[in-house]
Chains A and B, each alone.
Chain A
């Protein structure tokens, strides 16, 4: 209304919703898509405001995972209602939502689970009653439900290292991003990434399945890392020392072996609220080697200043590093 370039609120809103959902649903969101979105937001403050508002509402629904079932102090043992195979039960639970249209019915369909979570920079080890251990990295959340027949863990966000006491009669199953990881006696890490998850096996083996049971299960052995999204699974081999480097967080450390400054900053940002921003493309490409405390951003900033001679500007919630 006031300036000719400002779209009516209704249009800005519809456009923002469409772009937000595209971004949230895209399985191949690229840098150019992000640039496109940024350009659209730069066109008019009306666009930016509409997008921020809807994105904030979308992010509020993060909390929904916690509503899935009633929380109890101790995981209780709940016999499955019938002897249906696991994914038939999941499918049945989903059908309940469709039929009754009631979230509560869906949440109640799973046995009572206990939630464990860490904040940004946090770390926690949980020992289950069966002796298995779950180690949560920064900004992570799991729900654990133990029953006579199986042990289930939902990875709702972040990264977790599992050391499982194997019991063939009581499988240990990790569920994340539309996939199931079934332990076959092992130590492994599961991390949720942008559009799926990564599974790294350090000892023993696991079976990776899709929750809908459509894709063929994949067996992963020690030294293998799988990246899985909704459509595909790719497997890479990593030397044991690389895998153990990637597990340094278990002792509160991050190790960089010839990472770029940009990668290193991204890794630090997982652990700290004050975010590092590398504002200069040439600086972003510098190579970093070394071990840091996960929360020791200061040490990293000193390195940037003294070793690389970069300029560091502190803002309220970010530290901008440039030439």
Chain B
């Protein structure tokens, strides 16, 4: 990783800042950004009319955050996350002329969420095990079984297939399904149910 040059790093160097390693960016993303996901989705839902765009908007916010963090890890993650989201929505409105003006509820109000208190990390750490357990209980039974056989018993793909009487391809499907659903439940859950195809 350290020896793959990229533009953002060159720019950072040119400005005399130390480049930020991908490893640091990843650690920051997992530790500080993912816990804000449900608040971020909430924010996007409330401020963007076309709900079918939410997943792509979220992806784009994350991409901008990562690109920014590669230059410098922001000191105020929460403010950075929500101002990035706000700027993205404003860019969209300006660029996509077809977007009706009421697509964005109120551009000036977009900053409001920034002042909400962030998640309390201590409480989160204490709750994590319970959250994982609760999320697990809501997985489809077969997907959950495959995940338990892998993560608790450490069985191989072939062993899981044999125990469950399914093909190895299906084992992979169950595990993919499990990890996607878990990520949504652990990070992206809001009171507004997310639509998944």
Q: Which of A's residues lie within 8 Å of B, judged by CB?
A: 1-2, 6, 8-10, 12-14, 17-18, 20-22, 24-25, 27, 38, 42, 44-46, 48-50, 52-54, 56-58, 60-68, 94, 97-98, 101, 103, 106, 176-178, 211-212, 229-231, 275, 277, 279, 315-318, 320, 322
List of B residues within 8 angstroms of A178 by Cβ: 153-156, 159
Given contacts A64-B136, A178-B154, 12 further A-B contacts (CB under 8 A): A6-B63, A17-B180, A25-B157, A25-B175, A57-B186, A57-B187, A61-B132, A64-B151, A67-B129, A103-B144, A106-B152, A318-B21
Complex CA gap A52/B132 in Å reads 18
Cβ contact within 8 Å between B152 and A318: no
**Which residues of B are found within 8 Å of A62, using beta-carbon distances?**
151
User: Tally of A-B residue pairs with Cβ under 8 A?
Assistant: 158
B52-75 near A? 1/0 per residue, CB < 8 Å: 010110111011001100000000
Q: Once the chains bind, are A60 and B128 in contact (CB under 8 Å)?
A: yes
In the assembled complex, the Cα of A67 lies from the Cα of B131 at a distance in Å of 12
Q: List residues of B whose CB falls within 8 A of some A CB.
A: 1-4, 18, 21, 23-24, 26-27, 29-30, 34, 53, 55-56, 58-60, 62-63, 66-67, 91, 128-129, 132-133, 136-137, 141, 144-145, 147-159, 163-164, 171-172, 175-176, 179-180, 182-183, 186-187, 197
Q: Which residues of B contact A18 (CB under 8 A)?
A: 172, 176
**How far, in Å, is B174 (CB) from chain A's closest CB?**
9
B148 proximity list for chain A (CB < 8 A) = 64, 97, 103, 106
Q: Is the CB of A317 within 8 A of B55?
A: no
Question: What's the nearest-Cβ distance from chain B to residue A227, in Å?
Answer: 15
Asked if residues B63 and A56 are in contact (CB atoms below 8 Å), the reply is no
List of A residues within 8 angstroms of B158 by Cβ: 230-231
Q: Is A317 touching B156 in the complex (CB atoms < 8 A)?
A: no
B145 lies within 8 A of A97 (CB): yes
**Does the CB pair B147–A63 fall under 8 Å?**
no
A60 contact from B29, B67, B152, B186, Cβ within 8 A: B186
Given A8-B56, A98-B164, A103-B137: A21 touches B128 (CB 8 Å cut-off) = no
Q: How far is the CA of A12 from the CA of B180 in the complex (A)?
A: 12
Closest chain A CB from B107 CB (angstroms):
19
Q: Say how far A34's CB is from chain B's closest CB, in angstroms.
A: 11
B127 to chain A, nearest CB (A): 11
Contact A45-B183, Cβ < 8 Å, known A27-B156, A64-B148, A67-B129 = no
* Cβ A2 vs Cβ B60 within 8 A: yes
* Closest Cβ–Cβ distance, residue B189 to chain A (whole Å): 12
B179 touches A21 (CB 8 A): yes
Q: Is the CB of B136 within 8 A of A103?
A: yes
Interface of A: prevailing SS: helix
Contact of B133 among A12, A38, A53, A103 (CB under 8 A): A103
- Cα A322 to Cα B150 in complex, Å, equals 38
> Which of B1, B2, B21, B58 gathers most chain A CB within 10 Å?
B2
Chain A residue with Cβ nearest B34: A56
- In the complex, 14 of the A-B residue pairs with CB atoms within 8 angstroms, ordered by the A residue number, are A2-B60, A6-B63, A14-B176, A18-B176, A25-B156, A45-B67, A46-B63, A54-B179, A61-B132, A98-B163, A106-B152, A212-B159, A277-B2, A317-B24
Hey, which chain A residues are within 8 Å of B154, CB to CB?
A: 176-178
CA distance A230 to B63 in the complex (A): 38
In whole Å, how far is B125's beta carbon from the nearest beta carbon of chain A?
11
A229 → chain B closest CB, angstroms: 8
Contact of B55 among A10, A25, A66 (CB under 8 A): A10
Complex Cα distance, B153 from A178, in Å, reads 7
Q: What's the nearest-Cβ distance from chain B to residue A186, in Å?
A: 23
**Which of B59, B63, B152, B163 has a CB less than 8 Å from the CB of A64?**
B152
Q: Are A53 and B183 within 8 A (Cβ)? A: yes
A residues less than 8 Å from B147 (CB atoms): 61
Q: For B66, what are the chain A residues with a Cβ–Cβ distance below 8 Å?
A: 45, 48-49
Of the listed residues A94, A176, A318, the one surrounded by the most CB atoms of chain B closer than 10 A to its CB is A94
A33 to B4, CA, bound (A): 18
